[in-house]
Structure 1
Amino acid sequence: MATKVDGLLFDKDGTLFDFHATWSVWAARIIHDLAGADKDKVVRLAAALDYDLDRQEFAPTSVVIAESSQTLAELIVQVLGHSTVPEVEHFLMMSASEVPQKQTLPLAPFLAELAARGLTLGVMTNDNEYSARAHLKSVGVEGHFDFIAGFDSGHGAKPDPGPLLAFARATDLRPARVAMVGDSTHDLIAGRAAGMQTIGVLTGLATTEELAPHADAILPDISHLPAWLSE
C-alpha cells in the first residue's frame, strides 16, 4: 500500500521507454561503427557489453542497462585500445540522442493524469542530460517534468542517492513522500538510500526476483501507478 506520495521520480530507459525495443538495434550499429572492419574487436566489444550479436539483445548483466554513459565510454576505450573517453562519450551522446524512442505507453496523457492528481514529476537517468532531454522532447513530454537530470547534471549518478535528493530539494518535497520508479536495482537502491519509496517496473531486463529485495512494490509497467497510488 502506498504511503502518501507527493512526487514521482522516474528512470528513463526501461521505465518510460521500452529498453529492448529502443536500444537493441542501436547497439548493434554502434558496436560495428566503433570497431570498424576489425571483426575481432566487434566480438570483444559485444562481449564486454554483454550483447548478443546474433539475437541483437543485451544480457541482464550488461553495463549499458544501469551504468552512466561515461562508464560505458571508459569500457569501450579499454576494449578498442584507441580513441579517448571524451571522444567516445560524445559519439555515444550524439548517436543515442537521435534514436527513436518506444514509449512503454502513451506518455503525454499518462503524465497529464499524474499531474492532475497534484503530483510533482521528475526524471533521473544515468544517461547524459542532453540525450535525456532529446528523448523526452522527441515524444512531446519534456515539459511535463519539473526536474530532469542525467549523470552529468552535477548531482552524481545512481545508485548514489545524491541526484534523487537533488530532485527533492529542487521541488521542495520530503524524500519520504517521493517514489522512485525504475527498472533496475540501481534505481531502487538509490531510492532506498535517499529515504524514498521504491517502485520497480518490469519493462527493463531485471526480473521480479532481482528487484524485490529493494522494492516496496513491483508493477508490470508504469500504467499501474495510478492504481497503486489509490491503494
Structure 2
Amino acid sequence: MDLNVAGIIFDKDGTLFDFNKTWGAITKTLIENECAHDLSQTPVLADALGFDHANAVFRPGSIVIASTAETVAEAILPFTLDQDKDALIDRMTQATSDTPQVQVTDLQYLFSDLRRRDLKLGIVTNDGEAPARANLAQANVTDFFGFIAGYDSGFGEKPAPGQLLAFCEHENLKPAECVMVGDSLHDLHAGRAAGMRTVGVLTGPALHAELSPFADIVLDSIADLPNWLDQLRNA
C-alpha cells in the first residue's frame, strides 16, 4: 500500500471524545430515566446494554459502543413505559446533543495541524448525523471536515464501508490514500473493507489486544497521529 496519506476519516465517539467520560454519564442518566417507573429494572437494562451502572463505564463488547441509535433503542424499548421507539430515539438524541463532550485532546490544535499538512478530513459515525454535527459544533471543529456522515445519511453504517467510500468520492481520493481511525472493531472492519489503512485508538472501551489484529497501528489516542504520519513520511 502506498505510504502517502491524503485523507483521514475519524469515528466520533471514543475517538474524538472519550467514550466512558462522555457516554458513561449520558447512559447512566438515560437508564435511570427510562426505568424510573420500575427501578428494579435498572440493573437489568444496564446488563442488556453492557454497562456497569455502578461505575458508569462500558464493558468491552457493549452494543452502545458501535451500534446505531436504532439498535440501542430496540434494546432499551422493552424496559420503557412509553413503547414509542421514535420518541425514545428523540430523547436519546436530545441527551447526546445536550451533554458536554469530553475531548481526548485539544481537537482544534490537532485538526489545525492535520489541515496544515493538506489532509482532507472526514467524520463517519454510527450516531445520527444531526447529533454528530451538534457535538462537533460544541467543540467548534465542524469546519475542519469536508464530509460528515451518520448512520442515517444514506451511505449505510459501519462495519460496512459505504460511508468511507462516500468520503473518497466526495473528496476525489482513492481508498489506498486514506486512513480510517477509530476505537472499535466496527471502525477497523469498515476501513479494511474499504481498502484503507486502519488506526486503532485506546480512548474507547476496546483493549489493545482486541484492536491490534485489525489495525496497522494502535495509538493511545488521536493526539499521536502527527508523530505517526511523520514516521510514515520518513520511512
TM range (shorter): over 0.9
Is the aligned partner of 1:51 residue 2:48?
Answer: no
Instruction: Report what 1:23 is aligned to.
Output: 23
Quote the offset at 1:2 in angstroms. 7.8
Is the aligned partner of 1:190 residue 2:213?
Answer: no
Instruction: Report what 1:62 is aligned to.
Output: 62
CA distance in 2, matches of 1:30, 1:138: 21
Is the aligned partner of 1:211 residue 2:203?
Answer: no
- CA separation of 1:182 and 1:157: change in aligned 2, threshold 3 A: same
Aligned residue pair count? 231
Q: Helix, strand or coil: the match of 1:121?
A: strand
CA distance in 1, matches of 2:192, 2:47: 32
Q: Helix, strand or coil: the match of 1:133?
A: helix
TM-score normalised by structure 1 residue count? 0.96
CA distance in 2, matches of 1:51, 1:112: 35
Give a deviation string over 1:90-115, Cα, whole Å, max 9, x none: 11011111110111111011101100
Give a deviation string over 1:131-154, Cα, whole Å, max 9, x none: 100000001101110011111111
Task: Work out whether residues 66 and 184 of structure 1, in 8 Å CA contact, stay in contact via their aligned partners in 2.
Answer: yes
Q: Helix, strand or coil: the match of 1:204?
A: coil
1:1-231 equivalent positions in 2, closer than 5 A: 3-80=3-80, 82-231=82-231
Task: Work out whether residues 48 and 79 of structure 1, in 8 Å CA contact, stay in contact via their aligned partners in 2.
Answer: no
Unaligned runs of 5+ in 1: none
Give a deviation string over 1:25-58, Cα, whole Å, max 9, x none: 2211111111113022222211111111211211
Quote the offset at 1:81 in angstroms. 6.9
Identity in percent: 45
Partner letter of residue 213 of structure 2?
A: P
- CA separation of 1:60 and 1:71: change in aligned 2, threshold 3 A: same
Partner letter of residue 191 of structure 1?
A: G
